[in-house]
A and B are shown apart, each in its own frame.
Chain A
Amino acid sequence: MNQIDTAKLETALNLKNKQKFARLPAPLRMFLLDSKGAIGLLMLLAILLMSLSAPLLSDYDPQRRAGGSHEPPSAEHILGTTRMGKDVFTQLVYGGRTSLLVGFTASLLSVAIAIVIGVSAGYFGGVVDELLTFLTNVMLVIPGLPLIIVMASFFDGGASPFVIGVVFAITGWAWSARVLRTQTLTLKNKEFITAAELIGERKWRIVLIQIFPNMLSLTVGGFVLGTIYAILAEAGLEFIGIGDPSAVTWGTMLYWAQSNQAISFGAWWELVPPAVAIMWTGAALTLINFSVDQITNPQLASQKNQSKIRRFLKGASA
């Protein structure tokens, strides 16, 4: 068999370059070295920045008529106007504010619930665990969307985006809680936790300082997934008309474009921008989630250089 020149392979894989990151903490290093996470983060920052600077980007009011009905994109209206004559670009950036804010807060809230319930169940065990686990499992089997429909039906004029967000937080924490409980149980049986108990450490300090940092990547993963779920589900609910149609979000934009039959009038610009915005955000969060997953479970990343190595070996034997 041929000898393989490891020095050449090292150059081919550009490993030297990666040594620059060697001093960073492992999770951060893994995140930065994985192109997926970095691209996702950039994409997310771009859309966040766009939404945050909405008032700078547009002089129109998203709720008010700004031009004629269904005007095509022009210098005046970058993305045209809706059937009601509202500026689509303005709605897009302002709608992003609501959609992203609802997504993030709903997810943050549900992760917070998940942490409290999952970690308490895992750490305290016994009756506490049995009760909380029962609660978690019940929430897991009661389907979210049909439940939300029941709750939303009691709000006159449709549920506002924030009501939807809160309902998501209340119904969507169970999965994360389950994962966090399992992780807490594993950690609780680690010897460093027993050691901390033996030196007389207080319970809250054990939970906050010894256990919680070890679950950070799992929590971040739950948060990212929760955000995806909340943004998508909010858009879905508003799209079918359960939300408050007077609010401006990406979901209600889709709803109006659909119910005004924008496409039949050839006004694709009323439909495409919110659709692209949702896809963009979804893609960004998915990419981030891939990298976070790899930090939680390094095996998923273990074959990163495979194709490069194969190519090198083929070149070496040829």
Chain B
Amino acid sequence: MSQAILSIKDLSIHYISEDKIVPAVNKVSFDIHPGEVFGLAGESGCGKSTIAFAISRLTKLPGLITGGEILYQGIDVLSLNQEALRQYRWAETSLVFQSAMDALNPVLSIEEQICDTLFAHQKIDKKQARERASELLELVGIDPARMGEYAHQFSGGMRQRIGIALALALKPKLIIMDEPTTALDVVVQRDIIEKIYQLKEQFGFAVLYISHDLSMMAEFSDRIGVMKDGELLEVAPAKQIWRQPEHPYTRQLAKAFMSMNNASAGGARANVHHQPILALNQVSKQFKTKAGFLRSKPFNALTNVSFELNPGEAMALVGESGSGKSTCAKILSQVYAPSSGELLFHGKNVWQEKASKQAYRKAVQMIFQDPFGSLNPTLNVGYQLARPVQIHHPHYSTKEVQVRVDQLLELVGLPSAWARRYPHELSGGQRQRVAIARVLAVEPEVILADEPTSMLDVSLRTGILNLLKQLKDDFNIAFLYITHDIATARYFAERTAVMYRGTIVEWGNSDAVTEDPRHPYTRTLLEAIPNPDHHLSENRQTSLMQQIWNPNGRGCTHSHYCEGPCQHELTTVQISPHHFVRHFDFGPYHDSLKHMPKKRA
């Protein structure tokens, strides 16, 4: 192999906290070769981002580099003087951050932010800088005419593209990407990764790709290093890490991804005779958006959504951000009232009868996405579990409440002594378990689970989903599982409904929907799932779906090419007894879509 462009030797970094010094990175060594994609995988807090910052020597107190070497083409980065360091930064190694919104200065235009990078390193005039800036934006697929605009005027995916353009500005030999797609929707994520790969082929820079997502990494990287608790456990070619991992931790991590991607929850229960607990009947929701002085224009967040939820059954609502799935959850948890349509609980319209509204409150509970926001930091676990018990059993004695709290903790797999702990003493997964216990305290019939695992490390996700499955079976609770991740939907739920721009476009048995997707959007979603068995370099073709797919569109599924008000009557087509799809008409692409392979290779 050729000479490494970056070699890290025995790098140690410590954090100085209020009362102790803790190691964040412990004697890590690895090399990156020219033109290579090196993946650094690991769960949150393993020290992978800390290394990324150290390479540009951006480590700030309370972080402190305590030992080791960082050699860039033989230059000792850690002993450069200030001016040499300034020249080294960005010209040699640049960075792409996780959140492009935070990484771009909100009050400077995109043009200013690209140009001042150029001015800091090159002796060029304003005109040349502008030319280079528009060249860069064009490379990443942004209209250079929008150069004078500001970060908040772009969508998430476009901001990340701007971040990449910025990283390319000085043609560095190494680009460090710290979770570059984590905050994005799956489809956008794939789009960005493919763009990066294409640019890499074109310019030949090396990439240090940092991510928690081992499956995406296996598809994108040449070699992968796996980190845990500040230590680099193993480094190996990507395929080997995925297929024959050596270290037990890597094996466990890879398995967590594989089980998610391939397992199925089994088909829907056969008995559909009895009444559904919960049903949405032709529900629409409109919001008014501001459109100039004293004017507003309606925005359809939900259009004629209907579905039913049966006792003891899990149904997944899958979609990207803005698809209306969260609006759905808010209508179900009674945060919003629907603009039209009915919310039926045991067959009764909830918004009409007061009594049924109260019964509904008790029966329908919610689990949230953010384990750090869902528990009150000032109250201990015991209190947060005791309150729902007391509210729903006012006659309980203190002793009985205590017993019930212990029982709830046991149900979610936590020791009863933890009732005295405060949320900051628990990890993310443990907090999520407490949140589940709190919901169980009310003895609900339905649980709305809004992305309950998306903020947890992968190794914990299966644990939480398995716990929910267990509760579903033991207590015959119905689940509405809201997620952007169609793979976990299949793992957890018997039925899946795919939402796109405010409507449900395809629904049915999870297996049928994922194995025989009919709607173009469902196919796009499935295609976007990382496929670690096939490296990006092998057999790539940009899918037709992505050509149609328009990240800025809103409203009707036909808005890509329709002009004027929507004229389409959306009819439903039944594919099989348990599989339905909304009729779609994608105009010139329609025929080509029919020939799409049913399943991914």
Contacts and interface: CB of A to CB of B under 8 A. Distances in A.
9 contacts: A1-B79, A3-B67, A4-B65, A10-B20, A26-B424, A190-B374, A198-B366, A198-B442, A201-B387
Contacts of B368: 191, 194-195
A194 B69 contact: no
A201 B368 CA distance: 18
A33 interface: yes
B533 interface: no
A266 interface: no
Contacts of A216: 378
A6 B66 contact: yes
Interface residue tally on B, bucketed by range: 35 or more
A9 B78 contact: no
A150 interface: no
Contacts of A18: 18-19
B291 interface: no
A201 B391 contact: yes
Contacts of B375: 192
Nearest to B391: A200
Interface string B369-380: 110011111110
B472 interface: no
A19 B20 contact: yes
Given A1-B65, A191-B368, A200 B392 contact: yes
A46 B366 CA distance: 52
Interface string B76-88: 1011000000000
A309 interface: yes
Given A4-B64, A6-B66, A26-B424, A195 B438 contact: yes
A198 B424 contact: no
Interface in A287-318: 302-303, 305-306, 309
B361 interface: yes
B377 A214 contact: yes
A75 interface: no
A9 B373 CA distance: 35
B374 A195 contact: yes
Which secondary structure dominates chain B's binding surface?
Answer: mixed
Interface of B: 14, 16, 18-21, 23, 61-62, 64-69, 76, 78-79, 333, 335, 361-362, 364-366, 368-370, 373-379, 384, 387-388, 391-392, 424, 435, 438-439, 441-442
Given A3-B66, A306-B61, 14 more contacts: A1-B67, A4-B66, A13-B16, A15-B16, A21-B19, A26-B424, A33-B18, A190-B373, A191-B374, A192-B375, A195-B439, A198-B364, A214-B378, A305-B16
A142 interface: no
Contacts of A190: 373-374
Given A191-B374, A210-B379, A9 B16 contact: yes
Contacts of B365: 198-199
A213 interface: yes
A198 B66 contact: no
Given A195-B368, A199-B441, A214-B376, A1 B16 contact: no
Nearest to B17: A15
Given A194-B335, A194-B366, A213 B18 contact: no
Contacts of A9: 16, 21
Contacts of A200: 361-362, 388, 391-392, 442
A195 B379 contact: no
Interface string A7-40: 0011001011011011000100100010000000
A309 B378 CA distance: 33
A192 B21 contact: no
Q: Which of A1, A191, A194 has the most CB of B within 10 A?
A: A191
- List the 5 shortest-distance A-B pairs measured between CB atoms, nearest first: A199-B388, A191-B368, A213-B378, A18-B19, A191-B374
Contacts of A3: 66-67
B388 A194 contact: no
A10 B378 CA distance: 31
B387 A195 contact: no
Nearest to A2: B67
Contact of B361 (A15, A194, A198): A198
Nearest to A212: B378
Nearest to B370: A191
A309 B387 contact: no
Nearest to B369: A191
Contacts of A26: 424
B390 to A, nearest CB: 10
B547 to A, nearest CB: 38
Given A6-B21, A309-B61, A195 B378 contact: no
B404 to A, nearest CB: 14
Interface in A58-87: none
B306 to A, nearest CB: 24
A1 B384 CA distance: 51
A221 B264 CA distance: 54
Nearest to A306: B61
Given A15-B20, A209-B379, A192 B79 contact: no
Contacts of A19: 19-20
A220 B191 CA distance: 50
B360 to A, nearest CB: 11
A195 B364 CA distance: 11
A306 B20 CA distance: 15
Nearest to A26: B424
B424 A199 contact: no
A195 B19 contact: no
A86 B450 CA distance: 73
A15 B62 CA distance: 13
Contacts of A10: 20-21
A192 B374 CA distance: 4
Contacts of B392: 199-200
B333 A194 contact: yes
A210 B388 CA distance: 14
B65 A309 contact: no
Nearest to A205: B387
Contacts of B333: 194, 198
A9 B424 CA distance: 27
A305 B21 CA distance: 12
Nearest to B422: A25
Which one of A4, A303, A305 has the greatest number of beta carbons of chain B within 10 Å?
Answer: A4
B367 to A, nearest CB: 9
B10 to A, nearest CB: 9
Given A194-B366, A309-B61, A199 B391 contact: yes
Contacts of A4: 64-67
> B62, B78, B435: which has the most chain A beta carbons within 10 Å?
B62
A9 B442 CA distance: 51
A198 B21 CA distance: 42
Contacts of B378: 213-214, 216
A199 B370 CA distance: 18
B366 A195 contact: yes
Contacts of B19: 15-16, 18-19, 21-22
Contacts of A1: 65, 67-69, 76, 78-79
B21 A15 contact: yes
Interface centre among A4, A13, A21, A199 (most CB of B within 10 A): A199
Nearest to A308: B16
A259 to B, nearest CB: 51
Contacts of A191: 368-370, 373-374
A303 B61 contact: yes
Interface in A258-309: 302-303, 305-306, 309
Nearest to A17: B19
Contacts of B374: 190-192, 195
A3 B12 CA distance: 9
Nearest to A298: B18
A302 B62 CA distance: 8
Interface string A159-182: 000000000000000000000000
Interface in A116-167: none
A18 B62 CA distance: 16
Contacts of A305: 16, 61-62
A30 to B, nearest CB: 8
